[in-house]
Structure 1
Amino acid sequence: MRQLPAMRGRLDLVDKARQDYFDGRFYSTVHVLLSVMDGFVNEFETVRRGLHTRKPEELRAWDSVVGHHLGLSNAHKTFLKGRTATQEEPVFELYRNGIVHGSILNYDNITVATKAFNRLFAVADWALAREKEQRHQAEEPATWSSVGRQRKETFGAIREQAEADRANKQWKPAEYQPGSDNFTSHPLYQQTHELLTYWKRRNYGSLSDLMTHDLHIKYGKSVRSEIRRAFEPFPLAAFEIRAVR
C-alpha cells in the first residue's frame, strides 16, 4: 500500500486498526478502516468521490484480481445496502452505510473486522490496477491496430465472463471424504498432493512450476528463489488431505 501516495498518509491509521484488531476491538477496526477507504478513494482520483459513492461497475479493474466476478464490484453491493430501521441482530457483512449511520448496532465481531481489512486490500489492488491501466494507455499510441486489439480484449473478457457465469449456474457443491471412489482420483486431491509433496521434499523448483502465471510474470527467472524464500522457513514434515470440498 506504500506505493500509493494517497494511502501512505493513512498508514498510521491502518496500523492502529491492525492493533485494535489483534486486541479484539473489532468495532474500532471497522470504523477506522471505513474512514481510511472512503478518504483514500476520494483522494486517489481527480473525481473527488469516496468509496461509498461509487457504483459497483466503477470498481472493475484491468488486469487485476479485483475484476473477478466475485471480487470487489460484487462485494460492493452489500457495502452500499441502506439500512434505515435500527437493527440489533448480529451482522456478518460489511454494511458500510448502516454501520456509519448508526442503524446497524451489532457488528463488533471478528468476521466484519476481517472483511474490512479484506476490502482495504482489494481497494488498494483496484487503485494499483487503475494506475497500471493508465500507464498502459499512455504508452501505447492509439493506432487502428491497437484499437482493434483493445476491442478484441474487451470482447474476449465479456465472453470469458459469460462462460464463467454459465459455469457458476451449472456448478453444484460437493464433498469427498477418504474412502470414497472419487476422493483420490479427484483433480483437486491430485494437485494438492503434488504441491504438498514438493513442499515436503523441499523441491522448490518443481513447486514454483505450479505457481500462477502472474507470479512468473512478476518475478521472471527469479521466481524459484522467491518461492524458496517464501517456503523454506516453514519446513513441512508431514501432511494429510482430510477432504475435498
Structure 2
Amino acid sequence: MSQKIQDNESIQSMLELTKLVKFGYKVLDKLPLIYKINPEIKTQRDQAVEILNHANILLLPDEFNNLFSKDGWVCYGGLSQRILEEVIYLGSNKQYQEAKQLLINYIDEDKIDFILKKCASREHFKERLDLFNLLKIDYLEERYHACIPLLLALIDGLANDISKHLGFFAENSDLELYDSITSHGTGLPFLKTIMNTSRTKTITEIIHMPYRNGILHGRDLNFANKEVASKCWWVLDCLIDWADEKQLNKQPKPPASLREALKQHQSIQELSKRIDLWKRRPTQTESYWKEQNIETLNPILPEYALFIFLGAWKEKQWGKMTPILLHNISKHLGKAASEVKNDYKKITLLDFHIINSEDQTPSNTQIYTYLEFIKNHVKQTLYLNISVNYANSQTGDPELRNEPNCGWYILQASISALLFH
C-alpha cells in the first residue's frame, strides 16, 4: 500500500485532474476567442479553477499525520476540517503545545455526543451504547482511571466482532484498508502499533499515550489524565470510520474523467448551498400537536411518517411498519416484516401523541412522544424521544430533507429502551 495518503486512488486521481486542468486552461487562456465561441468552456474553466483552489486540502491528512501521529493522533474521515487546518497551522509554526491542547480539548461533551449518535446506528457499537454513556459521564467528571481501561477493552472487542477474526491489538489485525484516510498505513494501523508497545517495566511517571499493555497489565501506573482518555475516544471515532469503510470493501477503479469530476464537484457545491439555506422549523405547542393526525399533516413531514408508523403499530400492521424503519432499507421485506413482528408484538400500543418536535439537522428530527401501552400484562405510559431521519431510499444514507428519491425513516435504536428492556 502507498506510503502517503495523497497516493490513495481517490485523492491521486483528483490531483492528477487538477494538473491536467491547470495545463489545459493555461493553453485556452492564450486563445480567448474560444471562450466567446463556446461560453460553456468558460464556465467549466471557472469551476476547474475552484477545484484547484481547494486541491491543497487533499494534502492535509499527510501533514497532520507527519506532525501528530507519533504522539497518538491520526487523521480520520470524521475529523473537523476546521480543527485539521488549525492544528496543522499551529504545528507548522512551532506552536505544537497549543496544537496539542486543541486536539485534547476537541474531545468535549458535544463531540462525544456525536460519537455516541454514530454508535447508536451501527451494528456492534450499539450493543455497547449503555457502557459508552457511562464512560461519557466518567470522562466529563474526570474519572479517567475508570474510563481509560474500559475504552481500551471495548475498542479491542469491537474490532474482534467487526472483523470476526482478530481484536484491535492483535498482531495481524486487519486495520489497513484500500483507498482510506483513516485506515491508511500511516493512520489507524500506525496508531495501533504505538498503543500496543511492549511495557515490560512498572512505570510511575505520567504517560501521555494509551499504552494498552502497560495500562491493562498494571505496569503503567500514572495513566489517568485527560490526554490519554481523549486519545481513547479519538481511537473509538476512528474505529467507526474503519467499520464503515470495511463494509464498503473498496477496490481499484478507473479514474474519473474531467467531465465527471467537474459534474461531481458542481453537485456537491449545489448541495452545500441548499444545506446553508436550510433552517429549523419553529417549534409548536403540545396542544397544537395533540390536534394533529394523518389528515392534518403534510405527508412530506417527519411527523407524518411517525404517525403512520405508530398507527400501524397500534393496529398490529407489521408489514406497514417494516419499510418505515431505517435499518430495513434494502432488506427482503418478508424477512424484515417477520423481525418487526417479533420485536413489536410483545407490546400492545394503546394510544400516542406528540409532545414536541425539534429539527436537529437537515436530515434528522427528534420527536418527543407520549406512548400508552401494555407490556408484560401491565398498562404503562412512557415519554420517548424518537429519532426520525431523512435518508436515501436505496442506501439509507442521510440526505438533505426534500431531496428526491428519499424519505423519512424511524431509527429503531431510539425506541430500543422500550422494546428490549
Q: Same fold (TM over 0.5)?
A: yes
Q: Point out where structure 1 has 5 or more consecutive residues left out of the alignment.
A: 138-148, 154-212, 231-245
Change (3 A) 1:29 1:218: farther
How is 1:1-245 mapped onto 2 (pairs within 5 angstroms)? 1-47=119-165, 49-55=166-172, 58-68=174-184, 70-133=186-249, 150=253, 221-227=270-276
Matched residue, 1:144: none
Q: Which has the higher strand share?
A: 2
* CA–CA separation in structure 1 for the residues paired with 2:266 and 2:178: 16
Q: What is the CA–CA distance in structure 1 between the aligned matches of 2:124 and 2:243, rounded to whole Å? A: 10
What is the rounded CA distance, in whole Å, between the counterparts of 1:216 and 1:20 in structure 2? 43
List, as ranges, runs of 4+ consecutive aligned residues in structure 1 with deviation greater than 2 Å: 1-4, 61-65, 67-70, 215-230
Distance 1:82 1:110 in 2: 22
Between 1 and 2, higher relative CO (CA 8 Å, sep ≥ 6) is seen in 1
Q: Could you say if the C-alpha distance between residues 44 and 68 of structure 1 is closer, same or farther in structure 2, counting changes exceeding 3 Å?
A: closer
Percent identity between the two aligned chains? 27
Query: Quick one: distance in 2 between partners of 1:42 and 1:82?
Result: 21
Residue by residue, what CA displacement relative to the aligned partner does 1:73-106 show, whole Å, maximum 9, x if unpaired? 1211211101111000100011011101111010
Equivalent residues of 1:59, 1:73 under 8 A apart:
yes
Change beyond 3 A, Cα 1:218–1:111: farther
> Does the C-alpha gap of structure 1 residues 218 and 33 become closer, same or farther in structure 2, counting only changes over 3 Å?
farther
Q: Distance in 1 between matches of 2:242 and 2:139?
A: 24
| 1:29-76 CA distance string (max 9 Å, x none) | 2112111111111111232x21111447x3122343213454211211
Distance 1:107 1:217 in 2: 48
More helix by share: 1
Q: Determine the C-alpha separation between the residues in 2 that align with 1:130 and 1:217.
A: 28
**Structure 2 residues not aligned, in runs of 5+:** 1-118, 256-261, 280-421
User: What is the count of residue pairs matched by the alignment?
Assistant: 155
Secondary structure of the corresponding residue to residue 169 of structure 2 = helix
Distance in 2 between residues matched to 1:43 and 1:72, nearest whole Å: 17
The equivalent of 2:88 in structure 1 is none
> TM-score normalized by structure 1?
0.55
User: Could you tell me how far 1:13 is from its partner in structure 2?
Assistant: 1.0
What displacement does 1:222 show? 2.7
- Which amino acid in 2 is paired with 1:111? E
Residue 50 of structure 1 aligns with an amino acid whose one-letter code is G
